[in-house]
């Protein structure tokens, strides 16, 4: 089992919470070549949780396969990645999922897929 990268998990979630206008869970990244950390709100880049994991770690979708690299960087299992990276997750869902991961939960055991979305079953 890989070691969870808690600092990066928190960094990505904080970034998404602080900049909700550049979070789009339905795409890996949009305009990654224009990513400017000094001008996040106006650079034209948007990304999902996996995309921001890569961008905040210095990778773009031109450099790596986003999903695989994000799994590696975060130190999560593929089952958890399937839940965390799902396109229908809201920011509120992601906050709960990050909290669950930080507490040592396996997302595929805490969240159930139904009606096209993941719902917390605890």
Torsion sign (Cα): 38, 40, 91, 89: negative
Which residues lie below 8 Å from residue 35, measured CB to CB, with a gap of 6+?
A: 43, 45, 55, 60
pLDDT along the chain (122 residues), means of 10: 92 96 90 74 85 92 92 96 92 94 88 73 70
Whether 1 maps to a domain, the answer reads no
pLDDT, position 1: 65
Task: List, in order, residues 6 or more apart from 22 with CB less than 8 Å away.
Answer: 40, 41, 45, 46, 47
- Over the stretch 9-26, which tens digit does the pLDDT of each residue have? 999 999 999 999 999 999
Query: Domain range holding 107?
Result: 6-120
- Candidates 78, 13, 7; CA nearest to 48 is 13
DSSP 8-69: HHHHHHHHHHH-GGGB-TT-SEESGGG--GGGGGGS--EE-HHHHHHHTTT--TTTS-HHHH
Q: Are 74 and 8 in contact (CB under 8 A)?
A: yes
Nearest-5° angle of CA 65, CA 71, CA 77?
A: 140
Secondary structure of residue 117 in the 3-state scheme: strand
Q: Structurally, how many domains does the chain consist of?
A: 1
Query: Do the domain assignments include residue 114?
Result: yes
């Amino acid at each position: 089992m890989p070691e969870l990268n808690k600092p990066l998990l928190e960094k990505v979630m904080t970034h998404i919470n602080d900049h909700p206008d550049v979070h789009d869970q339905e795409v890996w990244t949009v305009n990654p070549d224009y990513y400017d950390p000094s001008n996040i709100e106006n650079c034209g880049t948007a990304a999902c949780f996996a995309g921001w994991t890569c961008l905040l770690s210095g990778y773009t979708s031109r450099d790596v396969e986003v999903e695989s690299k994000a799994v590696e960087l975060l130190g999560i299992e593929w089952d958890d990645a399937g839940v965390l990276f799902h396109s229908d997750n809201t920011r509120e869902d992601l906050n709960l999922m990050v909290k669950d991961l930080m507490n040592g939960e396996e997302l595929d055991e805490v969240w159930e897929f139904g009606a096209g979305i993941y719902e917390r079953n605890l």
